[in-house]
Amino acid sequence: ASDGAEFKALRAILGMASCVFRDMFDMPPAQSDSAENTKTGDSSPLPIIPVTEDAETLQVMLQMIYPITPPSIQSIMLAHKLATACGKYFIDTAKVQLHVRAILNQNDSLETDPVGCYTLAWRLGMEREAIAASRYLHPFDIGNRTAAKRIVTESGDLEALLALLDVKPRTDKALEDLLALAPIKVDMACRAHRLSYGTGGPHSKRIEGLRERMAAPNPVCDDIEEFLGFQAGSGPPDCSECAKTKLARLNEAKTTVRAAIKAYPCTIKG
């Protein structure tokens, strides 16, 4: 390993997992330390294959190759290093997908490093996981040079960035459509007390507040007035019929808003 750790492995297993390892073993081997050979009682030298991966990455890669104990991948960074190493040695991508799927679907990973989850899923061709991770990227300025460079570098594909940039114009239109669902112009009074309309604040303030709420991975609308930033109309406070009418019409509007939230284009296209 790059940090000096040594791993003993069966060349047959490594050769079956990777054509690169197989070719390495076909090359004239370097001589192993004679003391090590004496210690093992093996008169033939053990081939030493120097690699650039660190011990942590090599360990999980070997655990993945050997059909014994599956590797424990505890961070997105380690998962990226494993994917890079397996790509370098032409190890089957399906194997990598199998062992990183769990961490890619953990809420902790998605919340702490959504960019890393997205780029890893993209580079491994894990469409469902990439779509899920893109939901967590709304608070990020994807157009920022540093963020854009990271996405392209880690995913290895400019299309990963373009897919995210395509989300913003779609969400901008959807935000306007969603804000328009606020029942400000709906009469909330009963038949005996007509014309009780609502009020809304400045459009720019309301749209930014809604954008912030919709940036959550799973936005929830419990209070429609708070969610859409408006004050519904209301009949006289002592009129129970007005109260019932207002509740019914707000609930009707809330149902429509929730359907719009469900259809909101918050992820990349599949």
CA angle 62, 66, 71 (to 5 degrees): 60
Q: So what's the pLDDT on residue 207?
A: 96
CA 162/CA 140 separation, integer angstroms: 15
Enter the tokens of residue 51. 């690699």
Closest CA to 232 of 193, 178, 196: 196
Q: So what's the pLDDT on residue 73?
A: 92
pLDDT tens per residue, range 148-192: 999 999 999 999 999 999 998 999 999 999 999 999 999 999 989
Low-confidence ranges of the chain (pLDDT < 70): 28-45
Chain mean position to CA 48: 39
Closest CA to 140 of 158, 114, 166: 114
CA 69/CA 76 separation, integer angstroms: 20
Question: What is the distance in angstroms between the CA of the first residue and the CA of the last residue of the chain?
Answer: 38
141: burial class by Cβ within 10 Å (0-12, 13-18, 19+)? exposed
Q: So what's the pLDDT on residue 44?
A: 59
Q: So what's the pLDDT on residue 38?
A: 47
Q: So what's the pLDDT on residue 20?
A: 84
**DSSP assignment of 128-147, as one string?**
HHHHHHHGGGTTS-TTSHHH
- Measure Cα distances from 81 to 9, 84, 156, 201, 233 in Å: 20, 5, 13, 49, 57
Q: So what's the pLDDT on residue 69?
A: 81
Q: So what's the pLDDT on residue 23?
A: 77
Q: So what's the pLDDT on residue 35?
A: 47
Q: Virtual CA dihedral for 151, 156, 158, 159, nearest 10 degrees?
A: -100
Task: Name residue, tokens 């129970």.
Answer: 240
Enter the tokens of residue 149. 């460079």
Enter the tokens of residue 242. 């007005």
Residue 200's CB is within 10 A of a number of other CB atoms, namely: 17
